[in-house]
Amino acid sequence: MSKITIQDILRRKQKEHRNIAVLTAYDFPFAKLVDEAGIDIVLVGDSLGMVCLGYDSTLPVTMEDMLHHVKPVSRAVKHALVVADMPFGSYQTVGSALHNAKRFIKEGGAQAVKLEGGERILDQVKSLVRAGFPVMGHLGMLPQSIRKIGGYKVQGKTKDEANQIFGEALELERAGAFAIVLECVPNSLAKRITKKLNIPTIGIGAGPDTDGQVLVLHDLLGFRSQVRPRFVRCYADLDSVIRKAVTRYRQDVLRRKFPSLEESFKG
């Protein structure tokens, strides 16, 4: 199977009318499984901070943290498009956005970058696109802005907020973004944006009418280390699978039932 391109992603919406399946991954073995299952886009999200690094928000995640995880994901993925999430503080100016996006593409092996925000980051998006970096936008509930918005809350509920997000989606498309993540917005707003844009919308907590869906892999797999938002559907219960396996191993070691002679070397 050949590598999915930006043009393939645009074609899914514009010609094939086929939904786009996106998942996060943060390391080699999980990224390989996700890719082999046929996912279209693998996002190395800055949710890394909460899922793998034990932070209580995405704010402390650094470029070095992200690169450390983008590299093995890029090595594992043979088919999907790999998108690297630009962490908080890494795209405050056009210069820093260009510098850090270049690192993700050249050192990390990603095919595109994702930035959170609308109006505030249009210059960065335009400059990145002009310089040849494919950009995925991200609107609605922006985890990097939780200090400003006061927590993980649905955005775009009032008419003014909805119009602001709608306008920013149009601006991001005009600036050259190839897709936009819509996080935690009402279904009706996501539907309105999706109808209006030529580029695909990828929803998370945005209802069924977007052009694609994204979830955090560990939420979908049923790891229970974090609060589970209402929009998550668990497709497995790896939390209890792993707990049971580790408990059985511990018991076998304590009772001298592991290893057996078959699992040992003869002298």
Instruction: Summarize as ranges the residues that interact with ligand KIV (CB under 6 A).
Output: 24, 43, 45-47, 85, 181, 183, 204, 214, 216
- Bridge-partner residues for 135, per DSSP? 113
Closest approach, Cβ 46 to ligand KIV, in A, equals: 5
- Residues forming beta bridges with residue 22, ordered by sequence position: 41, 214
- Residue 58 tokens, joined: 């995405």
Which sequence positions are flagged as catalytic? 183
User: Who contacts 115 (Cβ-Cβ below 8 Å, separation ≥6)?
Assistant: 86, 91, 97, 121, 124, 125, 128, 135, 136, 137, 138
The residue among 58 and 127 lying less far from ligand KIV, judged by its C-beta, is 58
Rounded to 5 degrees, φ, ψ at 81 are -80, 130
Q: What are the start-end ranges of the E strands in the chain?
A: 20-24, 41-44, 81-85, 112-114, 135-140, 179-183, 201-204, 212-215
Distance in Å, CB of 183 to ligand KIV, minimum: 6
Residue with nearest beta carbon to ligand KIV: 45
Q: Residues 209, 191: contact at Cβ < 8 Å?
A: yes
Cβ distance to ligand KIV smaller for residue 59 or 238:
59
Residue 191, SS3 per DSSP: helix
CB 118 within 8 A of CB 172: yes
Q: Is the peptide bond before 259 cis (omega within 30 degrees of 0)?
A: yes
Give residues with Cβ within 8 angstroms of 112, minimum separation 6: 6, 81, 82, 83, 84, 133, 134, 135, 136, 178
From the CB of 138, what's the least distance to ligand KIV, in Å? Answer: 6
- CA angle, 189 then 190 then 194, to 5°: 120
